[in-house]
Amino acid sequence: MNRMSFFIKLRKLFLHASPRKRALVFTMGIVILAAVGIGIGSQMMSKRAESGNDYLNNNNNNSVGGRENLDEPSNIDKSRPKEVIVVIDPGHGGEDLGAYNGTFYEKDINLDISLKLGELLEELGVKVVYTRKTDVFIDLDPRVDLANRLDATLFISVHSNSMPDNSDYRGTETLYCPPVNPKYSKMDGKKLATIVQKELISALGTVDNGIIERPNLAVLRKTVMPAVIAEIAYISSPSDRAKLKDTAFRQKAAQALADAVMKALDEMGAVKDENGGYTIIED
């Protein structure tokens, strides 16, 4: 029996049945469809929960409420050295272009410098995790959650600035949030910002706009580890923009950030272990 004639027979049977039988068959059909639907749904849910290797899909965040009232996981033995992890956060992405000039988008500069930075750090043996490695949109909280969940050592967010009303304004600045509960006695956002800013200015020769306290930026306020946003240069300034378009300049920026990370890790007492990776003891 081919499929068509089977359904035609089924339809005939259905049409010739009594109204009660028809109602019964109809109800059973609905019940079966619902059961199959629930089955597929729960299978999809468990599949999603399994895909934890994509760090950002896993949403068991411990960052809601901000830097102020974060509970530290109690099962971490602080006296034992833990692996150093640097989270690199290329600002914006996907439909969020960031600042732009024509088709020159901040999101692309940020990603390029970030990938270069990560490569340099990995060459040195530092474990790097990116909040994004491609041109995708990632909200701010998942970026924070990722870093906090990994118990990352440092959080480096890479951005480029813009002042559309004043194209003369240019230069480099590093943003930080005043720490409330510093995780490390030897390093906090402000100290890290100072190191990052110094390295960037000496490597890039851009105008030094200094370090700037920004208490209300989510990725700085909600991350529990020392965190900064490096604003490399101004897209809105023609001279800065020309620099940002230059691959060698972006490589220099990445190198400066890598140097800053290594200086900060050194100040925090991180050490290279026998496997060539870095470990640190939380205090």
Q: Enumerate binding residues for Zn ion (CB under 5 A).
A: 91, 98, 159
Cα separation, 13 vs 20, in Å, equals 13
| Min CB(80)–Zn ion separation in Å | 37
Comparing CB distances to Zn ion, the nearer of 91 and 179 is 91
| Min CB(3)–Zn ion separation in Å | 57
Comparing CB distances to Zn ion, the nearer of 184 and 234 is 234
Comparing CB distances to Zn ion, the nearer of 180 and 217 is 217
**Count of residues making up the chain:** 283
For residue 95, the tally of other CB atoms under 10 A from its CB is 9
| Min CB(92)–Zn ion separation in Å | 6
Comparing CB distances to Zn ion, the nearer of 98 and 189 is 98
| Min CB(233)–Zn ion separation in Å | 12
- Beta-strand ranges (E) seen in 177-263 are 208-213, 227-234
Contacts of 174 (CB under 8 A, 6+ apart): 193, 194, 196, 197, 200, 211, 212, 228, 229, 230, 231
Residue of closest CB approach to Zn ion: 159
As given in the structure block, the two tokens for residue 180 are 């409330």
Q: Which residues pair with 74 in a beta bridge?
A: none
